[in-house]
Structure 1
Amino acid sequence: MMTQRQEGPRSSGPVLSGPEGGALSHQRPRGPIWRTSRPVSAVLVAAVGGGALAALVWTAATGFVEPYVALSFCLVIAIGELARITLPGYREAAPIASAGAISYAFLLTLGAGPLHHSAWQVVAVVALGVALGELPHIAVGRGPRVEDVARRVFVAVLLAVAFRPLAEQLGLSGPSVTATLLMAALAMLAWLADALVAAVLRAERLRTRLGVAVRDELRAQFAMGAAIGSSGVLIALACTVTGLAGLLVFTAPLLVSQMAFRRHAEVRRTYLETVRALSRVTEVGGYVENGHSRRVSHLSHGIACELGLAEAELLELEYAALMHDIGQLSLREPIAGGATVLASPREQRRIAELGSAIIRETGVLDNVAEMVRRQCEPLAGDGDEGVPPLGSRIIKVANAFDDLVGENGDEERRAAVLERLRMDTDSEYDPRVVDALASVLARF
């Protein structure tokens, strides 16, 4: 086990991005602007953007079919995009805009009259509505995550290209059992395709395993996807009877659902901000270095993604990593530099147990409390409890690394600390976690 804190000059190091892209240290000089570490995202945005631009040019050149209908749906999509929300997991969604886009792609008749707009026009109307809805956000500095906008347009492209030609071949000119089943089937397939694309983008962004990302996205998007898809089909069918009034009538229930999702997301966001504020108490009190909890949290997140932890486990780990040092508030005098890795095993255990007791007082974070309680245990564990939870082992490695490197450790210092951690993998640190830490550091 380490008994000595390494000293030496500190200089600029790499950026380590956590769940929200926060930096752990200074940035390296960037390469050419055309290079990107996220090629799938770049290809998706370029392909959707190019297709949308081509659809707009083509539709403008040939003229809009039923322009008043197109304008009505365009405005609904724009309003829905303006009211977009951020869901847990930092996912952007625009339920009303997405439902409007789906319904316009599926729309066969309006009242008693048939509609003959092409797939190109559907893409053009959706792209224009999305762009108009995003302009106010951009004007006030709340630009969207471009890949999420591209995904919303991508779903409309899939449905329009699949449904409009197929409806013509089958002779579908109004509501029928065949048309309804086809709409429902295509809406489900489009949702699955969107979830898979979102999973690929998430795996690319977080550097996690694709299988884990797929499960996370399917679980996270199921309720919202079902609400959006069913609303889009209902709006398309209702408009065949009621005209454009159906667009407003069946958008209202989705608006209520969106408000519920927004409230849930705000509660989760407030909860996390409260935890982050609580983690700052040890820094304000001088018990740990400024930014230590945030850096340990970001390192732990990167390691956990490398090891393939699910989204729910990542959230619990983030809570535990942020509050892993809260037990230091019980100390009469702070540890030098706040480095618990330099404290005696007995003192480390006492800090961890007191921190766990504080967290258990919330009544809802028992798993987080258990991770904090066992973070100082050796690899084999203490007593009869066995090996500590993986989250505890991750925090132990991330905490030791940051304690010994600090905020701006240079590459030589980081390499030396990493080697010291490897030397203790037979007793103190999980070798898989240390290898994952090395992989995280090597990317930056």
Structure 2
Amino acid sequence: MADPRNALAFGLFIAVGEAARYGAPPGEREPAPLGAAGALAYALLGESGGQVAGHGVLQTVAVAFAATLAGSAPHGPSADHLARRTLTTGFAAACFQPWYVLGGSYYAALLLLLLVLTGLCDAVLSAVLRGARAAGPFPPLLREELRSLVGIASAVGATGVVIALGAAVAGLWALPVFCVPLLLTQLSFRRYAAVRSTYRQTIASLARATEVAGYTREGHAGRVAELCRAVGRDLGLSGRDLTVLEYAALMHDIGQLSLVDPVPEGATARLPEAEQRRIALLGGAVVRQTGVPSAVAVVVERQADPYREQPLPARIVRAVNAYDDLAGDSGRGGGPLGALERLRLGTARDYHPDVVESLARVLARGGLTPAPAG
């Protein structure tokens, strides 16, 4: 082991950063930013306290692997997370150490280039792992990962480079000094994620009002929201657009609470067009009073319009809602396959062909499971 003092210090730093990911919101792209920054800094460490660091690529990978495993042990190590951390660190070290001898005016440009390449490598690995786990299409997942590079990933990369540069001059004192900004960013993001999770739960509870009142079948809003997210991701939506789609899918039937006579089983897809639009407008009026973004209300209001006049989220909600209504009626809808066939027959005016085919792909990957009959 070359430079055991540096190896131990960076190993402890990575392990503590991994342990700090306890309580991270599910689905967070980078649950351990401190650990990621420490691993990247060790991979890009050319000097420590004015002396050339002697560790090689294999030692860098071994330290990152052992520290990540040790830090993850208290809350259960994840094979995907461990593989992603180890491979990304190894990629950065393998690219950096052979070219470190350039030094001089090329050093800053080299670090900047490696920062970009490492971010791309991490995004590709994350998309591959997510696609293998969820059996989803790779291109939409990769686009979503690349968009996230401007968020926490850029902060992690910049902190890792700054720690490596600081350690070259100040030695191991750079570890506690330069991690403070990222730690504050992590705490702020955790609070934001907690507020967002509570907000989503509140919307989901409000959406269940139609089920509690007997206007829609049990679990309808949740099934539609889950399918809408999958279809939206398949069609390339991400970030804010995917959140708006999910909220609109949860609340798409909220207008039925304004009706005197409930729709049988809540299946609005079988109503006349004028009645569907009236319910959609009533729902949009209710949504606007809940404080959610106005974009959600627009999707709810326009879900019953002809698809050529709809934005993409409204097209998705309309098709997925109709599928769940028809698939849950085995007598008239013909089950999942019959529901899809009826959607395809309605692509001349009611349902966008691309959305219907995307829904078919999503259902094929997850199996054509029918919605419970009313």
- Is contact 2:143–2:236 with CA below 8 Å preserved after alignment? no
Q: Tell me, yes or no, if structure 1 residue 442 matches structure 2 residue 369.
A: no
Unaligned runs of 5+ in 1: 1-63, 381-386
Which residue is 2:80 aligned to? 147
> CA deviation digits over 1:88-116, x for unaligned, max 9?
96423321111111211222333244321
If asked which structure has higher relative contact order (CA below 8 Å, sep 6+), I would say 1
State the AA in 2 paired with 1:425: T
Which residue is 1:80 aligned to? 17
Equivalent residue runs for 1:394-405 within 5 Å: 394-405=316-327
Equivalent position to 2:43, from 105, 127, 134: 105
State the AA in 2 paired with 1:274: T
> CA deviation digits over 1:7-47, x for unaligned, max 9?
xxxxxxxxxxxxxxxxxxxxxxxxxxxxxxxxxxxxxxxxx
State the AA in 2 paired with 1:77: I
State the AA in 2 paired with 1:323: M
Say if 1:356 and 1:209 are closer, same or farther in 2 by CA, change over 3 A.
farther
State how far apart, in whole Å, the 2-side matches of 1:155 and 1:100 are: 12
Say if 1:371 and 1:234 are closer, same or farther in 2 by CA, change over 3 A.
same
Say if 1:163 and 1:209 are closer, same or farther in 2 by CA, change over 3 A.
closer
State how far apart, in whole Å, the 2-side matches of 1:229 and 1:408 are: 53
Unaligned runs of 5+ in 2: 368-374
> CA deviation digits over 1:38-59, x for unaligned, max 9?
xxxxxxxxxxxxxxxxxxxxxx
Q: Tell me, yes or no, if structure 1 residue 207 matches structure 2 residue 136.
A: yes
Which residue is 2:201 aligned to? 273
- Is contact 1:184–1:230 with CA below 8 Å preserved after alignment? no
State how far apart, in whole Å, the 2-side matches of 1:254 and 1:324 are: 39
Offset of residue 192 of structure 1:
2.3
- Aligned identity (percent) is 44
- Is contact 1:208–1:308 with CA below 8 Å preserved after alignment? no
Which residue is 2:219 aligned to? 291
Say if 1:70 and 1:313 are closer, same or farther in 2 by CA, change over 3 A.
same
Which residue is 1:252 aligned to? 180
State how far apart, in whole Å, the 2-side matches of 1:307 and 1:100 are: 36
Offset of residue 213 of structure 1:
3.8
> CA deviation digits over 1:284-311, x for unaligned, max 9?
2221111100111122223323333344
State how far apart, in whole Å, the 2-side matches of 1:299 and 1:119 are: 44
State how far apart, in whole Å, the 2-side matches of 1:280 and 1:216 are: 29
> CA deviation digits over 1:122-149, x for unaligned, max 9?
11010011001111111xxxx54x3343
Q: Tell me, yes or no, if structure 1 residue 370 matches structure 2 residue 298.
A: yes
TM-score (ref. length: structure 1): 0.74
Offset of residue 281 of structure 1:
1.4
State the AA in 1 paired with 2:38: G
Mean Cα displacement is larger for which, 312-321 or 89-98? 89-98
RMSD over aligned CA atoms reads 2.6
Which residue is 2:111 aligned to? 183
Q: Tell me, yes or no, if structure 1 residue 420 matches structure 2 residue 342.
A: yes
Which residue is 1:68 aligned to? 5
Mean Cα displacement is larger for which, 430-439 or 368-377? 430-439
Offset of residue 202 of structure 1:
4.9
Offset of residue 203 of structure 1:
5.6
State the AA in 1 paired with 2:340: L
Say if 1:109 and 1:415 are closer, same or farther in 2 by CA, change over 3 A.
closer
- Is contact 1:110–1:240 with CA below 8 Å preserved after alignment? yes
Offset of residue 322 of structure 1:
0.7
Say if 1:252 and 1:128 are closer, same or farther in 2 by CA, change over 3 A.
same
State the AA in 1 paired with 2:306: P
- Is contact 1:180–1:233 with CA below 8 Å preserved after alignment? no
- Is contact 1:86–1:92 with CA below 8 Å preserved after alignment? no
Which residue is 2:90 aligned to? 157
Which residue is 1:391 aligned to? 313
Equivalent position to 1:308, from 227, 236, 239: 236
SS of residue in 2 equivalent to 1:117: coil
Which residue is 1:121 aligned to? 59
State how far apart, in whole Å, the 1-side matches of 2:29 and 2:174 are: 29
For these two proteins, the number of residue pairs brought into alignment is 363
Bigger share in helix: 2
SS of residue in 2 equivalent to 1:151: helix
State how far apart, in whole Å, the 2-side matches of 1:374 and 1:206 are: 31
SS of residue in 2 equivalent to 1:437: helix
- Is contact 2:326–2:334 with CA below 8 Å preserved after alignment? no
State how far apart, in whole Å, the 1-side matches of 2:149 and 2:176 are: 24
- Is contact 2:327–2:338 with CA below 8 Å preserved after alignment? no
- Is contact 1:73–1:101 with CA below 8 Å preserved after alignment? yes
SS of residue in 1 equivalent to 2:30: strand
Offset of residue 364 of structure 1:
4.6
Offset of residue 191 of structure 1:
1.3
Which residue is 2:166 aligned to? 238
Offset of residue 179 of structure 1:
3.3
State how far apart, in whole Å, the 1-side matches of 2:261 and 2:148 are: 45
